[in-house]
Copies of this chain bind each other. A is one copy, B any other.
């Protein structure tokens, strides 16, 4: 049985439609509910609901909390999935890369262009791919989305295309 940690931070993947207000918003994490739709007989998923915010609102203090949480999990030597808004996912990933010691496990970041459970959403696809990626990838920080895997230093979001694309070297901001 492989243990995998899933640290949820919010983002579109985890938004719900608020009937009262007619908007999509980060209210309470639903990733756990959707993980139960997957068959993971050899995997024990431990969900850590850390925060639930739009990644455009994510502050340095939020990123510091994510870093501390991941650092705290490293002694478990278990792969880690971080769900995150797509807009600043790379920024947080590079922040983790600068702040973390040499890794023994893969860390995968993922998110979605449309929330879990919305028609045509890419969210469950990205979750499925990310959990699978953690079984195969070597130690390091990656972004997984839309059947692609990128080292965190080689990726940026293309807002026009609505997806991530490979770049040469991602200078830490």
Contact = CB atoms under 8 A, between A and B. Distances in A.
A119 interface: yes
Interface string A13-51: 000010110111000000000000111111100000000
A132 B135 contact: no
Copies per complex of this chain: 4
Select the residue from A22, A42, A161, A162 with max chain B CB neighbours within 10 A.
A22
Interface residues of A, number: 41
Contact of A40 (B41, B43, B147, B161): B147
A147 B24 contact: no
Contacts of A136: 133, 136-137, 149
A115 B17 CA distance: 9
Contact of A38 (B118, B147, B162): B147
A117 B17 CA distance: 12
A40 B146 contact: yes
Contacts of A42: 146-148
Interface in A96-132: 113-120, 122, 125, 128-129, 131-132
Given A39-B122, A119-B116, A125-B38, A135 B147 contact: yes
Interface of A: 12, 17, 19-20, 22-24, 37-43, 54, 113-120, 122, 125, 128-129, 131-133, 135-137, 146-149, 159, 161-163
7 contacts: A17-B24, A23-B24, A39-B125, A42-B148, A125-B128, A133-B136, A136-B137
